[in-house]
Amino acid sequence: MLYYFAALMSAAAVVWLVHPRRDANRWAGIFLFSAATGGTSEWLEGQDWLVASSVVQYANLTVTPYAALVFALVYGGWLRTGAARRMAKLLPLAPVIGMAGWTTWTPSFAINYPLLAVWSGLYYLAACALLVLAWRRESDRHLRRSRRITAVIMTPTLLAVYGLIYIGRAIDPDFPFFGYVSGFVAYSLGLGLLLSWGYGVLGVRVRVEGDPMEPAMQAASSGASMLHHAIKNELGKIAISTANLRREVEGRESAEDHLRIISASSEHLLAMVSRIHGQMKELSLQLEPCSPQRIIEELLPAYRERMAAAGISVVTDYAPHASVLADPVHLREACSNLIHNAIEAMPKGGELRIAIEQHRRQVLLRFADSGQGLAPAQAARVFEPYFSTKGGGANYGLGLTYVYRVMTGSGGAARLESREGEGAIVTLSFPRMRQREE
């Protein structure tokens, strides 16, 4: 049993410490810690620490289903507001506390297993359903894979724990569940460890998983650097040769016209490659407290005339005194890209809604347009380098990639939600500054 305790406690520590500010990781850690405590109850009883053994058994049996449910709610993104998150964590505590009235603590621990099986069953089944639904409804292919992995790892073991421990003990309080449950726990831990090598589980890899698109970002950055270097060198040679030829053909108007075309085309090509390189090179962020509201208010006047001509109205809703830790220069450019994209998505007019929401653990900056939206296959790829849904020579498919890199570099995240015919919402999420400072 102590091996069981050590394995689950190790998993809890790793999952929590990899992303201590991420709510889903904290609740995964709480769930694993609570599950692990069951491995110590027999040892405590053997040491004649009967009260401690009873408390540990009670916590293991009641807190574990509660933590599983809250984890599934938080992980799946089902709780949109701070009030919803608070209620989702407080209301399910009622049976956890109330079961104390149906428990005998000494001289031997005895809990009302049939009653426990009723409400814990609701919690476990709801947690499994929420994990599967979070996977099935996810449109982003990277997050969809991550949610599928979590569902495959957790749901069989949660169902087995409920059936073998809670239902088993409700039928026979002396049912020897451990030999059966340990196989499912080994399955979850073993599969989690195996998948952490290639894909990552809850942000954990053998190398800590940070960004699921990191290989694509690195390849694009490297390719842009090599392209910039090679073309810049060749354009330098063209510029020198053009200047020399211009001196030799001075006075010959037709030849000078051709040379001007060559020179203008070379300058345009250099500007294009420099822009691609600038958006894909390694970002050096200078993080400092800044006001997203002030950044938006400084940006909007530059777009007023264009939006008025296109018939686009702007609605803003700012949480008061919201502040985030970010690089103000890069955040300004990222927001500018999002406003520009929203305008392009509404050529026949519409509404752009910009909102700042301040929650207990994060600040959200949302840009919502009423354009045509994106197909699921397109929405899943919008942050990939060089992917674009629009044509045009000035569009390189790097605007949202830049936004993604600014947000991950700031310790936050960028997310796009869209359906065809229903517009698109891009959400930038930042950890609350007071948590980062802690």
The most distant pair of C-alpha atoms in the chain lies apart, rounded to whole Å, by 110
Query: 214: phi > 0 → left, psi -120 to 50 → alpha, else beta; which?
Result: alpha
In DSSP notation, 268-307 reads HHHHHHHHHHHHHSPP----EEE-HHHHHHHHTHHHHHHH
For the chain, give the number of residues.
Answer: 438
List all residues 6 or more positions away from 427 whose beta carbon is below 8 Å from its beta carbon. Answer: 364, 365, 366, 414, 415, 416, 417
List all residues 6 or more positions away from 290 whose beta carbon is below 8 Å from its beta carbon. Answer: 323, 324, 325, 326, 328, 331
Give yes or no for a contact between 281 and 222, defined as CB atoms under 8 angstroms apart. Answer: no
Q: What end-to-end distance do the CA atoms of the chain give, in Å?
A: 36
- Which is nearest to 419 in space by CA: 381, 386, 371, 384? 371
Distances (CA, A) of 2 to 109, 179, 263, 395: 20, 14, 75, 59
Chain centroid to CA 211: how far?
9
Ranges of H-type helices in 289-398: 292-299, 301-310, 328-344, 376-379
From CA 142, how far away is CA 135, in angstroms rounded? 11
Give yes or no for a contact between 74 and 24, defined as CB atoms under 8 angstroms apart. Answer: yes
Q: Which long-range contacts (CB under 8 A, 24 or more apart) does 185-188 make?
A: 185/4, 185/7, 185/8, 185/35, 185/157, 187/156, 187/157, 188/153, 188/154, 188/156, 188/157
pLDDT 10s per residue in the chain (438 long)?
Answer: 556 567 777 877 887 787 777 788 889 889 988 888 877 777 777 777 877 888 888 888 999 999 999 999 988 888 877 788 889 899 999 999 999 888 876 667 788 889 999 999 999 999 999 999 988 887 766 678 888 888 999 999 999 999 988 998 899 887 777 667 778 878 787 777 777 665 655 554 444 444 555 555 454 454 455 455 456 555 566 666 667 676 776 667 666 666 666 666 666 555 555 555 554 455 667 888 999 999 999 989 888 889 999 999 999 999 988 999 988 888 988 998 899 889 988 989 999 999 999 988 889 999 999 998 888 878 777 777 766 666 544 444 567 888 888 888 888 889 999 888 889 999 999 988 754 333
Task: Please give the angle made by the CA atoms of 374, 133 and 90, to the nearest 5 degrees.
Answer: 115
- Which is nearest to 341 in space by CA: 408, 414, 409, 289? 414
Taking each helix axis from N to C end, the angle separating 23-37 and 2-18, rounded to the nearest 10 degrees, works out to 170
The per-residue b/e assignment along 247-269, b for 16 or more CB within 10 angstroms, e otherwise, is eeeeeeeeeeeebeebeeebeee
- Count Cβ atoms below 10 Å from residue 144 Cβ, excluding itself: 16
From CA 377, how far away is CA 4, in angstroms rounded? 42
Alpha carbon dihedral 21, 24, 26, 28, in 10-degree steps, equals: -150
